[in-house]
A = this chain, B = another copy of it.
């Protein structure tokens, strides 16, 4: 049984990560490629990054030992619906020497599996965007938000960045002091925290600086809000509180009141010891007091576990989870 290898991949917008692991939990290799989201990068390029990551993970591993693989990626449904994209992924898979089948799942499911082995639960992800999903029998069931920056992604990094600029514009309109967070935003966007003699000129310059770039780049201001909240800055603290409430509200659209299944928090804004993660944990505990709240871990490891658990020799998938995704234990 320890001869059997499974492969897990987590394909994200900025990097692609792969792991090859035995059913005994021995990590044989890890690999990394560039951003491989087929929606934003095109299926060919995504498949090329996939191959790079796979080759890294399989270096020195006999690929015929690999019995199963799972690829987690955002927009999995769109890839599966596109014969051209699916063919590109098939080619990369066989170019890596793999002969076993593989399956593609949403990145939300892989994130969930990196945090818990429970078959049912909820995953809440906040990075540049934001989405909540209900997991049933380790399949994505209903989702909430994830509607993109124009119409959704409430509480996401984009949302935090946009709201930080909006609060600053309101302060400039009112002729008020921009405050510590406002000064950080001014410095980031205009290179100086100074406000013009006519504050409207500064406001107009801010609007121009933002509209020169793709809107989604407002997400790069989110770390300023997080840092401000760590320092106790009141505007930043308020925004973090609003974001947490919105994120949990999205989860509540799909997660029943009184649910006791685990909640897994994922994405750059909710993993690690951030004030947003703390606020979401507190709000989740208030709404669902009997639920465990977990952090998503290594998505590639979660994918590897999802691949392994359907193999006939696996009789205790929960014990296997502890071996393959040790940080979630």
A253: Cβ under 8 A from any B Cβ? yes
A184: Cβ under 8 A from any B Cβ? no
A142: chain B residues at CB < 8 Å are 173, 175, 200
A207 to B169, Cβ gap below 8 A?
no
B207 to A174, Cβ gap below 8 A?
no
A162: Cβ under 8 A from any B Cβ? yes
Copies of this protein in the complex? 2
A162 to B174, Cβ gap below 8 A?
no
B207 to A148, Cβ gap below 8 A?
yes
Interface residues on A, range: 20 to 34
Q: How far is the CA of A206 from the CA of B148 in the complex (A)?
A: 11
Given the known inter-chain contacts A152-B166, A207-B151, please indicate yes or no for A143 contacting B253, CB distance below 8 A: no
Could you list 7 further interchain pairs (A-B, Cβ under 8 angstroms) beyond the known A173-B254, A174-B253? A142-B173, A144-B170, A147-B166, A150-B211, A152-B166, A173-B253, A174-B254
| Interfacial residues, chain A to chain B (CB-CB below 8 A) | 142-145, 147-148, 150-152, 162, 165-166, 169-170, 173-175, 200, 203, 206-207, 210-211, 215, 250, 253-254
